[in-house]
């Protein structure tokens, strides 16, 4: 099942509920979708790309318009609002801008509605296809019997379907390879333990959960053959992914374990460098509470960045839908992804 789709509005799997409950919610207004993005009901860079795309289609459908000019002004406002929900994953902006651009070429209200929805559906379908491609290329890097460490959730839930990092694992398993996954819990919001473990177990893929603080010992013990993670934004000198990814890359390097990043072309923001990227900082309550339990003195100072940059020098290769890209990245990324 797709993590996000259109059916009388934007429907999405509420990822805050998994694994306790499986619930699909419907957003009938852009404001509701914005709220779903902020509270991480929909999350993961490619799923956010689809959310941004469907968000513009939703803006075109959610109310009546007196004329095309009023509608276009509304769509632009909706685009700004959606873009303000989360700052780090570049895919969100890619999805919004792609559908907005097409929608603004429409000449009637009906025309704009059709154009926006068609483009959003196209983008969602393309996400699945590119993940499949990435999976095929990435699976060649995995050998029968490999144990793969992953961080956060870069699976079906983080995309429209199949996944990026977990898509590589799925494709290798589909080819008949025996692959085991070690999933880091990924504090503070536990996308690893809640989402990665849940979706791999649904597919019958062998997964073992560890806490983030166990990354060192499992590498020391030689339990990991490869690391594969996803990405929220890839710039000229770094890969931005869930907070803690950098630490995993350092430990992997120390132990000579290959560290791969699987991400589509849309995640590359090759015109920028790491110090230009805004890292989302989230609320203090994420560290202080676990449900109703208090984990720290409620008035303690808290620092809660949601992402960190992993220098590209720590990345063995980038797995994309156009192939596996090896260093030197400054030459090979623009050549293979056809950037100027």
Q: Is 41 in the site for ligand MRU (CB under 6 A)?
A: no
**309 belongs to the binding site for ligand MRU (CB under 6 A):** no
Task: Decide: is 131 part of the binding site for ligand MRU (CB under 6 A).
Answer: no
Q: Which residue is nearest to ligand MRU (CB)?
A: 230
**130 vs 84: CA distance, rounded Å:** 27
Task: Tell me the C-alpha distance between 266 and 68, whole Å.
Answer: 30
Instruction: From 114, 69, 119, select the one nearest 94 (Cα to Cα).
Output: 119
* Residues 88-107, interacting with ligand MRU (CB under 6 A): 89
Strands 4-6 and 10-13: antiparallel
Per-residue b or e along 135-160, where b marks 16 or more CB atoms closer than 10 Å to that residue's CB: bbbbbebbeeebbbbbbbbbbbbbbb
Cα distances (Å, whole numbers) of residue 120 to 114, 117, 284, 330, 335: 10, 5, 35, 32, 28
If the CB atoms of residues 45 and 141 are measured against ligand MRU, the closer one turns out to be: 45
Residue 154 sits in the site that holds ligand MRU (CB under 6 A): yes
Contact 164, 181 (CB under 8 A): no
Three-state DSSP at 229 gives strand
Strands 259-262 and 317-320: parallel
Q: How many CB atoms lie within 10 A of CB 321?
A: 22
Between residues 89 and 139, which has the closer beta carbon with respect to ligand MRU? 89
Of 117, 124, 152, 172, the residue at the interface with ligand MRU (CB under 6 A) is 152
Please tell me whether residue 12 binds ligand MRU under the rule CB under 6 A: no
Closest distance of CB 69 from ligand MRU, Å: 35
Whether 232 sits among the annotated catalytic residues: the reply is: yes
* CA atoms of 92 and 195, how far apart (whole Å): 20
Q: Which of 191, 249 has the CB closer to ligand MRU?
A: 191
Per CB under 6 A, which region of 18-26, 108-116, 228-236, 329-337 contacts ligand MRU?
Answer: 228-236
The single residue of 161, 232, 269, 308 carrying the catalytic annotation is 232
Output the smallest distance, CB 28 to ligand MRU, in A.
Answer: 23
Q: Which of 10, 27, 41, 45 binds ligand MRU (CB under 6 A)?
A: 45
Q: Which stretch binds ligand MRU (CB under 6 A): 95-103, 153-161, 213-221, 289-297?
A: 153-161
Residue 3, interface with ligand MRU (CB under 6 A)?
A: no
- Separation CA 124–CA 91 (nearest Å): 12
Residues that bind ligand MRU (CB under 6 A): 40, 43-46, 89, 152, 154, 158-159, 164, 191, 230-232, 241-242, 306
List, by residue number, the catalytic residues: 232
């Amino acid at each position: 099942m797709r993590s996000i789709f259109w059916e009388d509005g934007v429907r999405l799997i509420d990822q805050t509920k998994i694994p306790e409950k499986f619930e699909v919610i419907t957003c009938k207004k852009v404001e509701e979708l914005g709220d779903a993005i902020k509270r991480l009901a929909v999350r993961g860079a490619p799923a956010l790309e689809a959310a941004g795309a469907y968000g513009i289609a939703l803006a075109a459908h959610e109310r009546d318009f007196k004329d095309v000019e009023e509608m276009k002004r509304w769509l632009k406002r909706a685009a700004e609002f959606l873009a303000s929900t989360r700052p780090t994953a570049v895919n969100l902006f890619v999805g919004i801008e792609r559908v907005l651009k097409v929608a603004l070429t429409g000449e009637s209200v009906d025309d704009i509605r059709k154009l926006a929805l068609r483009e959003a559906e196209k983008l969602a379908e393309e996400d699945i296809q590119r993940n499949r491609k990435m999976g095929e290329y990435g699976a060649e890097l995995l050998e029968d019997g490999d144990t793969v460490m992953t961080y956060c959730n870069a699976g079906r839930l983080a995309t429209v379907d199949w996944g990026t990092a977990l898509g590589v694992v799925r494709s290798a398993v589909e080819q008949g390879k025996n692959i085991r996954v070690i999933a880091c819990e990924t504090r503070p919001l536990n996308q690893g333990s809640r989402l990665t473990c849940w979706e791999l177990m649904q597919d019958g893929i062998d997964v073992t959960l560890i806490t983030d603080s166990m990354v060192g010992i499992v590498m020391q013990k030689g339990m990991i053959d490869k690391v594969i993670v996803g990405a929220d934004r890839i710039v000229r000198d770094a890969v931005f992914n869930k907070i803690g990814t950098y630490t995993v890359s350092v430990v992997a390097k120390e132990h000579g374990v290959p560290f791969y990043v699987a991400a589509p072309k849309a995640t590359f923001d090759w015109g920028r460098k790491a110090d230009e990227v805004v890292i989302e900082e989230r609320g203090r309550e994420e560290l202080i509470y676990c449900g109703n339990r208090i984990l720290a003195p409620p008035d303690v100072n808290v620092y809660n960045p949601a992402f960190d940059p992993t220098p590209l020098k720590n990345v063995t290769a980038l797995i994309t839908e156009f192939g596996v890209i090896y260093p030197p990245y400054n030459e090979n990324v623009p050549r293979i992804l056809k950037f100027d």
